[in-house]
Amino acid sequence: MISKNMENMLNEQINAELFAANLYLSICSYFQDQELDGFANFFRVQSKEELFHAGKQFDYLHAVGGKVTMKGVDAPETEFHSIIHAFETTLAHEKKVTASINNLVKHALIENDFATHNFLQWFIAEQVEEEASISNLLKKLRMIGDNSSALYLLNTELGNRVFTEPTA
């Protein structure tokens, strides 16, 4: 059985994952408006990943006898003044999610909730990957600068990304 505190914290995390999905759809829309379909695809896949994360947490909470309490999701930012700004917004958000997951892990240990601690390890690894991926893309974008040919190539590369549901 999961504690009420951990149940509440996981419900907040589910809500945060749903917010992230909406944020990434908002960024996807920005890139579609810019005719950068590869970048748009990248963020559509990001959105699907966040929905997967929310679903994984939803299922876990039910599995341990908790109650899922769906909440309203705040509207995400909708205006981005550059490609760099969109990715900086993404990196800042991923860092916020990492802090939230770390806080969940800390509280799971405080409560001796080793099952939840174990469950959250997947998300710890996922956040390392997410931050590294966005940081790498930001570095590439800064290196590209105003080079439209390089931007075209990166757009093409990002267009090849597909969502594959993790098996573990």
Is 111 among the annotated ligand-binding positions?
Answer: no
Alpha carbon separation from 124 to 12, 49, 88, 129, 162 (Å, rounded):
17, 15, 21, 9, 22
Q: Is 127 annotated as a binding residue?
A: yes
94 is in an annotated binding site: yes
How far is Cα 140 from Cα 165, in angstroms, rounded to an integer? 26
88 is in an annotated binding site: no
What tokens appear for 146 in the block? 């105003």
Sequence-ordered list of residues with C-beta below 8 angstroms from that of 23, at least 6 positions apart, any chain: 76, 77, 89, 90, 93
Annotated binding site: 17, 50, 53, 94, 127
Annotated binding site for Fe cation: 17, 50, 53, 94, 127
